[in-house]
Structure 1
Amino acid sequence: MRKLRIFSIVTTVVVLFVLLQGSIVTKTGSGQGCGTTWPLCFGDVIPLNPTLETIIEFTHRLISSVAGMMVLILSFWSWRKLKDIKEIKFFAILATAAIIIQGLMGAGQVVYGQPPLIMALHFGFSAISLAAVFTITLFTFEKKERPLKATVGKAFYRFIVAITIYAYAVIYTGAFVKHMGAATVCTGFPMCNGELVLFSEGMIVFAQMFHRLSGMLLALLIVVLFIWIVKMYRSQRFLWWIGWFCLSLVVIQFLSGISMVLTYNQHLTIGIIHALTISILFSVLTYTIVVTRRK
């Protein structure tokens, strides 16, 4: 079990790094750094005299391939080793399917080019892959004779499911904004260029403002979740820490989003933090669904 636990942690870190690499590729405009050839780079196994964009894209491909193999190994290994955990089969299949679809979509984008909506889906499958691997990793820390569970009411459980699905939808709105180049279309916050606009200024402004409203609603829902936990379930240590962790993540997400707008999205680190926190939040909420579902 110790070897599986270590391997799962390393796999989670590698998958997370791939997700961040994807943000760097988009931010630096390196998606065509290897031309339109895949899996080769400009027809070569290893590119000769590469530009910075080529190095970024080639490295992303290389580490993505390693991550894919690690996820496949982890899925099979955990399925065999963690048979006592009834949810393991679902998450092993989910992790495998997500990483394969993610890879195929990335290859399709290089060879054929893809519209912003499809590229947003690519990031969405990256988030699913991370959430599945993250959950499997936490399974390796559970005691076989006493799996982690939380006793909650039906309304709270349904709220957790709803907020997880909504967080995933917010991931798509942000990815769509990024891939259609709408991140810097508005200056200032909360208004756009000094005006409260949504539908009247075209699709690109609509995407930016819609994402802002979606993010603010997510923050509000997390605050409601936190208050609910404090009032009803503060005696359950797992939920107590989940409440604080989710609240901290959404604050970081909110502040990093505002910072991206105010700095005209010029700082790569802020964009990485923004993509990182929403992905981790979705992963944490996914595991919370599992724990609160158990009887």
Structure 2
Amino acid sequence: MFHSAVIRLTLWYLTIIAVLCLLFSAIVFTIANHEFQRPPGRPINQKLSEVQTEYYEDFRSRQAETARRNLLQNLLLFNIVAVSTGGLASYVLARRTLHPIAAALEAQSRFSSDAAHELRTPLSVMLLETEVGLRNTKASKTDYAAILRSNLDEIRRLQQLTNRLLALSRNEKLPMQTSSVNTIVSSAVQHVAMQAKHKKIIIQNNTNSIALQAHADSLTDAIIILLDNAIKYSAPKTTVTVTSQAKHRHIFITISDQGIGIKAADIPKLFQRFYRVDTARNTDGTVGAGLGLSLAHKIIAAHGGDIQVKSTLGQGSSFTIALPLHK
């Protein structure tokens, strides 16, 4: 789509250049032709005999015709060079003109994709819990009430996530409050507990109660994204570990899995929006990978932090969130 728009704009630029060249050539040729056809002054005619005058006019006519032909050739060559050079310049200018628009449209499209991916996570949890409840013929009212309460929590999370997405799309500054690393991580672990249980994956929360300035809901969403990816790309009956430590005026939250790892060539691109890693990494059969990581990275960046990735094929991956420690 971008390429076709560039071509169309290039053609418009090229048409304008061609019209201007033709107008310029027509004006130059008209003025020059008028000069070629202008008769010589009377003093010259008075000094020439009748034969000499006829010969002079014939010579001048042939000279004017030659000059006219040379002028046409030069103008044609000029137009060819101008249109060729203008075509290349038009293409470059068209790309530069449309690039900001294309970038904005691409950002909007990718943000929509990320939003859809993150909205799918709580919906998947509700779907899984509801299916389990319907299959359990011996479920009591208490069991059904627990499922409804869990679904209600996920619906609230959907509302919060929608608000976070809108805030991020508008580049709004997130309001920060004092919170605890353990509290935020525990909330995130609770949200993915059903997914982990479905794959018989154990989540070990070894974080401590380090105080930090953060937007708790958004930071929870970012950790949920990382936990969701850790579960998704880990084999059943493995362990996902979450640890935290304060060091060098930063708080480090590390999420480690025992999956099959990530290729070194893919790591620098993980947080690019809409980038998909090798689908062979996915152990649960779902399509797509890393769509939410760009959103997680944006949330962490809004907190003044960063995410680092270490991975070894066949052993697993570790995602470390580094946040500034405000005192």
What is the TM-score of this pair, normalised by structure 1?
A: 0.28
Structure of greater Rg: 2
- Greater strand fraction, Structure 1 or Structure 2: 2
RCO higher in 1 or 2 (8 Å CA, sep ≥ 6)? 1
What is the TM-score of this pair, normalised by structure 2?
A: 0.26
